[in-house]
Structure 1
Amino acid sequence: MNRQKEKLVVIGNGMAGSRILSEIVQKAPDKFEMTVIGSEPVSSYNRVLLSSVLQGEKELEDIKIHPNEWYEKNNINLRVGETVVQLNPDSKVLITDKGYCTEYDHLVFATGSRPFKLPIPGSQLSNVRTFRTVEDCDHLTALAKHTKKAIVIGGGLLGLEAAKGLVHLGLEVVVVHLGERIMERQLDETASSLLMEELKNQGIQFWLQKETKEILGESTVEGVRFSDGTMTKADLVIMCAGIRPNMELAKANGIKTNRAIVVNDSLQTSNPNIYAIGECAEHRGIVYGLVQPLNEQANVLAHILCGVQGHLYRGTTVSSKLKISGVHVFSAGLIEPKETMLSLTLINEIKKNYKRFIFDDDRLVGVILYGEVQNSSLLLEYIVEKQNLSDERKEQLLTMVGSVEDVVKNLKKTDLVCQCNAVSKGIIQEAISKHGAKTLEQVKVRTKASSSCGGCSSTIKAMLQTMEIGGDSFESEKETLCVCIDLSEEEVVERIIKLGLETIEEVRSTLGWMKSTGCKVCQKVLTYYVTMIHTSAFEYSKEELNVIEQKNGKFALTPEFYGGVITAEQINSVATIMKKYRVPYLRVRSDQRIELDSIEKEQLRNLYSDLNLPLRKNNDFQVQPVLMLNHFRENKEQLLQLAVELDQRLLGVNVPHTVQIGIFYLGERVNATKCDLRIDYYPHGLELSVIGQSDEENQLFYKTLKEEMLLEMILGLIHYYRMTAKYLEPLYSWLQRMGIISVREFIFDETNRSELLTQL
């Protein structure tokens, strides 16, 4: 590198740190020798979208801001998993906990904040977590597999998003909130009530005006006690009770702090060579905790560092959008009017829509939208620009609905579409017309629009659909497999079969993958389709079978016992293995299988060699071992044999989505919700049903007196499903899409069924 360049060091590689680097790379890529130091062990990612990862809508790869290659390409020294522990502002030198020492000419604090843990008894227990980082997300996902009930402390934006994610993972979730209503900083009483009612319908419980006094348990969470004397059982507690700026390093080195690191309009601290942006900075007495202000701060600071005159930070009018599937909420500015202010409200009880507009004379100073939020960007622009509105225009705001397309037409070129990243309609139009962006992802790469909260994505899609170039309109954005390829999922599968592509690498190189290694999305999808179409194309090593890594760093192993039946010889074999390898205990799982726990990693290979039992692939989606309850008083041997044969025939079979088969006696309801395919034994015969979301949605598929015919039907149905369903499409959803009559006709045909069984 050119040693004559000024040295710029950024402490913190979160959203603020990565944004200031992006701005400088765009404005003056050769001006600085840049270093960024981040405490987290991963590269920068969009923290705003962590809730989407927890809810299962996105993968970590989807929310990364910059891959490691970006830092290399732009000659940025990226140091992850390191923390600055010493700073000398006089000599302009800093040192990390890994011993890295560097000088600087300009230093930027972008250290963000950390979650606040309530200082109450029990807060140190192992199952008390926060929700702030990728590591938190991973821990919560892992804990959800072994827990049943979670308490989320805090009914703010982050608490609600965490609660929804945990519900998605199958937990019973209670949000405990000290206030009288949820999201009281962003919503008034009406909007808060509407939101809480909707979230209750989605499975979240709420306990308001509850103060958590103590978390109960010895080593892990067992319950929670409240200040009113009541208590509840729980095995997981998530604290979402606020954040605290990371300002200790600055404060220890004489830099002025208050609630955070104090900065002026140039974002300088009390030391003229040191700056601060984002959640660790306090500007004019305000500490912002949202992405929009930090992006504006990064833009201003980049101009200042690059020597561009006339740029100062004057503050940000913040807005909030809730990022929970199916819930549309927006607020900006004031939520309650002050004296002399005008408030206009409209509520539609049928559609559950609510609007509130607060005016100071002719200026809009506050907005709350629940349900219909299409006009949020335009309304925020009114607030930011302090536009004067006539009485007629004020009234029109109440009834202004319109489609997203109408909203786009009403936007001026200078109006902001993406508030988070300050991207106007004109900039997006230019990306489409001049730079050929034809998809949301391409617009995002070109302009950063929709790369933060994603709330403007529908508006951008509408622009892509309606904007005319040379007299031709864009077609609706094509739903591609992922961002690496312009082909749909169906087109990729069609080409794999037609061209005989047998490996993942062959698929990527032949079909023109944009990224040679693919992304988290296509890696899983391609693995599924290639292994399904070409069974021999992908071999599993024994270390990848039946093994689950445990929290203590050891491993759990589940041997395969067909039908859940264990012979005396197999019991002896397992006992011998346990003694030889000092496996402390085994446990009986809810699916009637046994699990050997706490196995050392170095013992696995030899243990596999000695364990003379079949093994199941530990991949994402497969047919699970058959669940058979022990309530049978007749025909038990025949049904047990059916379970054994199903397990044998379907062991290791990949399916688009996990399939659980259960065998039940006389229509019993116990554990019925666990199954996708249900076999019911009655004196008059056997019934096979595909299970929906409720009893009313269950579909009776087939009746017979013969177990062997039922076996054929199940095997045929499973293989037809895996050959025609989309990846991640559940069995019931597939049946709904295909039509039960059509599927029956195909599988009931003896020739078709015979071919399916041969292929399987």
Structure 2
Amino acid sequence: MELTIRRLRTVSSRKLVLVGNGMAGVNCIEHILKLADESFDITIFGTEPHPNYNRIQLSYVLAGDSKLDDIIINGWDWYKDNNIQLHTGQTVTKIDTENKCVYTDGGIIQNYDDLILATGSTPFMLPLPGADLQGVIAYRDIKDCQMMMEASKKYKKAAVIGGGLLGLEAARGLLNLSMDVTVIHVFDTLMERQLDPTASKLLQAELEAQGMKFLMSKQTEELYGTDRVEGLRFKDGSELEADLVVMAVGIRPNVALARDHGIEVNRGIMVNDYLETNVKDVYAVGECAEHRGIVYGLVAPLYEQGNVLAKWICGVETKPYEGSVLSTKLKVSGVDVFSAGEFMDQADTRSYRYQDDFNGVYKKVLVKEEKIVGAVLFGDTSDGTRLFQLIRSGADASELKTLFGTGQGEKKSTSSDVAVMANDELICGCNGVSKGHIIQAIEEQGLDSVEAIKGCTGASRSCGGCKPLVQELLQYTLGDSFQAVEKEPVCSCTSLSRDEVVDAIRSMQLTTSKEVMNVLEWKQEGGCSKCRPALNYYLGMVWPEEHKDERHSRFVNERLHANIQNDGTYSVVPRIYGGVTNSEQLRKIADAAEKYHVPMVKITGGQRIDLLGVKKEDLPKMWADLDMPSGHAYAKALRTVKTCVGESFCRFGTQDSIQMGIDMEKRFERLWTPHKVKMAVSACPRNCAESGIKDIGVVGVDGGWEIYVGGNGGVHLRGGDLFVKVKTEEEVLEWSAAFMQYYRETAKYLERTSHWVERVGLEVIQETLASADTRRELIERMDKALAVTKDPWKEAIEESEVRKMFDTLIVN
């Protein structure tokens, strides 16, 4: 399409109509209001019944971490304050380009002088047999989220078709709704449009650790069921049961309105460098627009388009829109990911790579003809904004030394990232907010928080990926006057932090979750899936004797005292202290396995026996037959104490590791903790029980013991820190108990000891527990908590609640 010759004009109360109330179109209107706020009579039509909201953050709504109000960008009052006529629930169905007016399905006729089409895109639904069954939905808007949340109350097996960003966000939200979720992807790597195979595999491993399941390189042939979907059948003949199927396989520009009324379309609505269509005074912006053969789906390019279009419509001198360098910086299920420019190795590129498997960090920067052309970051995206600037400007490869050093173990400079950035460099790529703009706003308007900066400049308002950089810039600008680190609320239901909630529970004598929510004015009645388990834990930790455990607030595995498996059966793990058993226990386990037709009996990595494939209805009878303590394989509690054979049998052993492990396991079993806790005892520094990667690891040495803390053997491997050296077994139990209780009282719910030790600091913990009086007080409080606990399964049986509980669960 040829570019039209730019015309400067006088704007005087022109009628401006925007079709589409989404992020791209309304952002363009925001720019127009800044440039010529009294020059247009603005009308906006939106199909959805909501004001403008952040579609990027729909996953938070789905996960229960946010409500709709939390993701609203421009509320109802904003339209009113800016004299904008908003028509929600109205779909424009006809454009009369000759008489310059639009018609809606609700009977509204609106004239225009300028018309902006921001109709966005529609989710692509695979044309599969069975796609019209109930329970088969897309994931695109608020309505889809609401349908998924309602389905999760009744159904438990979900399948998400599509392993891209949208599919993974949907899967994470469904996991948070306690659904069993499997992601089906036609390719062998996830997010193949943003990540290279290495980053993709790292992401998959992390998501699997969170409970997400994957069927890779699978092609769905049909969905089967009678009225509601019951499962998927694949081209290789295999099947997967599912009563909710979410299709997240891509989007298509919504061009039907334009195509039906003489506006040129290809894949999207064709526009030139000033976002003009082939029809005079009709423009297109956002996901529906096709510019130079490209349709953009990320928010930053859409906002760049809107900025150019706003200036063009207002008659303000502007550079043409010449396309965007794509970048993605986001959290996928809590994992930091960044991608920009070219990210796949080619014959004419070379790469700088850094990979730290222990900390789950991977970085790759691609160079072509000595210019930086692309990057992929996983686990640590702090360099993302700077890299994006270098890619956009076509910087020389020598600039990488400021980020990754020169090699041979040399680290990058520890100086502030924002300090070395030029004032015109972008902090917020989504909204086009530069470093200089933010500094000016902080200095001229006295801004002192990220929220204030967001409200004033728009930085971090969209994807939120730049929030840490905005925080750093705030601290850099304010210098010594920078005071508090902004608190992290427990969840979106409250603005209160973990410490504020716990302090209120103590000072106000709050004893139930309902009481906490009422007194502390929770925004959402009944709370959400994030805060309910946390409050139940904090109440039990503060008031171990008074608080009645709220089982309905616990995660499903804790409610059933067994781990749910991918086929809907359960895994039962009796406790075997220190990995030492006897013929009586083995006989009980063998009899139960035979009686309840257990398909697999497995020795676990924690030296226990796992009975896999138990039916839900058999769980209470099986536990009664076993008459053994629960191994808490499902719980936020002590899981196992792994031991080596020790000095009794091993010629290298210096201590009795078996007895020490049994003593520790019996000491701490049934103690609820912020997250799962694993321990190990090794009889010598050869460390056969892997004590160095446990939450608490004990190693026998000549004349005593070494205690290590904060280890983690998961995806983000972390070696434990040497905590203390002691001489006797009694001291091992004393220091371990004090450490455990201090962790219980100060950690956030769902915070592993590895993260807690790094956050609080090993030296702080050592100094706190150095006092014998402090250790004694902590242990006394721990003993109070243990005194009122029993094996959860026996407790349920004694209270005669287990049958009612399971009957209810089976019915539901």
Give TM-score, length-normalised by structure 2.
Answer: 0.64
Give 3-state SS (helix, strand or coil) of 1:225's partner. strand
- Alpha-carbon spacing, 1:236–1:484, altered in 2? closer, same or farther (3 Å): closer
2:804 matched to which residue of 1?
none
- How is 1:208-227 mapped onto 2 (pairs within 5 angstroms)? 208-227=216-235
Match of 1:17 in 2: 25
Alpha-carbon shift at residue 394 of structure 1 (Å): 8.7
Structure 2 counterpart of 1:156, one-letter code? G
Describe the SS at the equivalent of 2:102.
strand
Alpha-carbon spacing, 1:20–1:490, altered in 2? closer, same or farther (3 Å):
same
Could you tell me how far 1:746 is from its partner in structure 2? 7.2
> Is residue 457 of structure 1 aligned with residue 485 of structure 2?
no
What CA distance in whole angstroms lies between the structure 2 residues aligned with 1:68 and 1:478?
28
Which of residues 416, 439, 450 is equivalent to 1:406?
416
Counterpart check, 1:330 vs 2:338: yes
Work out whether 1:154 is the aligned partner of 2:162: yes
One of 422, 432, 436 as aligned partner of 1:426: 436
- Whether 1:32 aligns to 2:40 is yes
SS of alignment partner, residue 135 of structure 1: helix
Q: Deviations over 1:726-750 (max 9, x none)?
A: 99969999x9999974545778999
Q: How far is 1:196 from its partner?
A: 1.4
**Aligned match for 1:441, one of 443, 446, 451:** 451
Equivalenced residue count is 582
Do structure 1's residue 386 and structure 2's residue 422 form an aligned pair? Answer: no
Q: 1:165 and 2:145 equivalent?
A: no
Please say if residues 59 and 169 of structure 2, whose CA atoms lie closer than 8 Å, have aligned partners that are also in contact.
yes
Query: Could you tell me which amino acid in structure 1 is paired with residue 368 of structure 2?
Result: D
CA spacing shift, 1:7–1:496, aligned 2, 3 Å:
farther
Structure-2 change in CA distance of 1:731 and 1:286 (3 Å): closer
Q: CA deviation at 1:484?
A: 12
Give SS of 1:181's match: coil
User: How far is 1:212 from its partner?
Assistant: 0.4
The answer to whether the Cα contact below 8 Å between 2:288 and 2:295 also exists between their aligned partners in 1 is: yes
Rate the CA distance shift 1:436–1:487 in 2: closer, same or farther, 3 A: farther
Post-superposition offset of 1:444: 0.4
> CA shift at 1:418, angstroms?
0.9
Matched, 1:274 2:285: no
Q: 1:338-377 CA deviation, whole Å, 9 max, x = no partner?
A: 4433333232333332222222212111111122211111
Alpha-carbon distance between aligned partners in 2 of 1:532 and 1:310, rounded to the nearest angstrom: 54
Q: Does 1:118 align with 2:126?
A: yes
RMSD: 4.5
Conservation of the 8 A alpha-carbon contact between 2:637 and 2:677: no
Aligned match for 1:417, one of 402, 413, 427? 427
Aligned in 2, Cα 1:135/1:106: closer, same or farther, shift over 3 Å? Answer: same
Rounded to whole Å, the distance in 2 between the matches of 1:627 and 1:200 is 22
Percent identical pairs in the alignment equals 39
| Structure 1 contact 9–34 (Cα < 8 Å) conserved | yes
Q: How far 1:228 sits from its partner (Å)? A: 1.2
The question of whether the paired residues in 1 share the 8 Å contact of 2:329 and 2:338 is answered with yes
Structure 2 match to 1:233: 241
Counterparts in 2 of 1:309 and 1:351: CA distance versus 1, 3 Å: same
Is the alpha carbon distance of 1:728 and 1:474 closer, same or farther for their aligned partners in structure 2, counting shifts above 3 Å?
closer
Supply the distance in 2 between the matched residues of 1:18 and 1:454 (Cα, whole angstroms).
Answer: 18
Q: 1:374, 1:404 within 8 Å by CA — same for their partners in 2? A: no
User: Residue type matched to 1:426 in 2?
Assistant: G
**Letter in structure 2 aligned against 1:368:** V
Shift of 1:491: 6.6
Name the aligned partner's letter for residue 260 of structure 1. Answer: G
| Counterpart code for 1:408 | V
Which residue type is aligned with residue 442 of structure 1? Answer: A
For 2:423, give the aligned amino acid. K
The answer on 1:109 being equivalent to 2:117 is yes
Whole-Å separation in 2 of the counterparts to 1:183 and 1:623: 29
What is the aligned partner in structure 2 of residue 55 from structure 1?
63
- What is the CA deviation profile of residues 201-249 of structure 1, one whole-angstrom value per residue up to 9, with x for unaligned ones? 1111221211100011111111100111111111111111110111101
Instruction: Report matched runs for 1:281-680 at 5 Å.
Output: 281-390=289-398, 393=401, 396=404, 406-468=416-478, 472-479=480-487, 529=516, 531-532=518-519, 666-667=627-628, 669=630, 673=634
CA distances 1:578-598 after superposition (whole Å, capped 9, x unpaired): xxxxxxxxxxxxxxxxxxxxx
1:142 Cα deviation after fit: 1.7
Rounded Cα–Cα distance in structure 1 between residues aligned with 2:362 and 2:636: 40
- Superposed, 1:114-263 pairs within 5 Å as 114-263=122-271
Aligned partners of 1:303 and 1:311 also within 8 Å? no
| Alpha-carbon separation, structure 2, partners of 1:313 and 1:732 | 47
- Checking the alignment, whether the CA contact within 8 Å between 1:161 and 1:323 is kept in structure 2 is no
SS at match of 1:344: strand
Tell me if structure 1 keeps the 8 A contact 2:404–2:412.
no
The alpha carbon displacement at 1:404 in A equals 8.7
Bigger mean CA offset, 334-343 vs 447-456: 334-343
Counterpart position of 2:72: 64
Rounded to whole Å, the distance in 2 between the matches of 1:299 and 1:108 is: 13
Counterparts in 2 of 1:69-88, with a 5 A limit? 69-88=77-96
Deviations 1:52-106 (A, max 9, x none): 2223333222211111011001000111111011210110111111111110000
Q: Secondary structure at the match of 1:132?
A: coil
The whole-number CA distance in structure 2 between the counterparts of 1:628 and 1:175 is: 25
Give the equivalent residue in structure 2 for 1:598: none
Work out whether residues 214 and 226 of structure 1, in 8 Å CA contact, stay in contact via their aligned partners in 2. Answer: yes
Q: How many Å separate the matches in 2 of 1:188 and 1:260?
A: 28
- Residues of 1 paired with 2:55 and 2:149: CA distance? 16
Q: State how far apart, in whole Å, the 2-side matches of 1:387 and 1:181 are.
A: 30
1:48 deviates by 0.9
Structure scoring higher RCO (CA < 8 A, sep ≥ 6) equals 2
Q: Is 2:35–2:314's contact at 8 Å kept on the other side of the alignment?
A: yes
Q: Which consecutive unaligned segments of at least 5 residues does structure 1 have?
A: 501-524, 539-543, 546-617, 630-661, 678-686, 698-723, 751-760
Cα pair 1:17 1:36 within 8 Å, conserved: no
Distance 1:490 1:79 in 2: 44
Q: Deviation at 1:388?
A: 2.8
Matched position secondary structure for 1:222 = strand
Structure 2: how far apart are the matches of 1:742 and 1:467?
47
Any idea what the Cα deviations from partners look like across 1:270-310, whole Å, max 9, x if unmatched?
Answer: 11210000000000000000000111011111111111023
Distance 1:485 1:279, change over 3 A: same
- In 2: Cα distance, 1:692 partner to 1:727 partner: 7
Q: 1:676 to 1:95 in 2, by over 3 A?
A: farther
CA deviations over 1:13-65 (Å, ceiling 9, x no partner): 01112211211122211110001100011111111111222233332222111
1:564-620 CA-partner distances (Å, limit 9, x unpaired)? xxxxxxxxxxxxxxxxxxxxxxxxxxxxxxxxxxxxxxxxxxxxxxxxxxxxxx9x9
Could you tell me how far 1:252 is from its partner in structure 2? Answer: 0.2
Letter in 2 for 1:208: M
CA distance in 1, matches of 2:450, 2:411: 24
Match in the other structure for 1:639 = none
1:291/1:732 CA distance change after superposition, 3 Å: closer
CA distance in 1, matches of 2:342, 2:149: 36
- Look up the equivalent residue of 1:431 and give its one-letter code: A
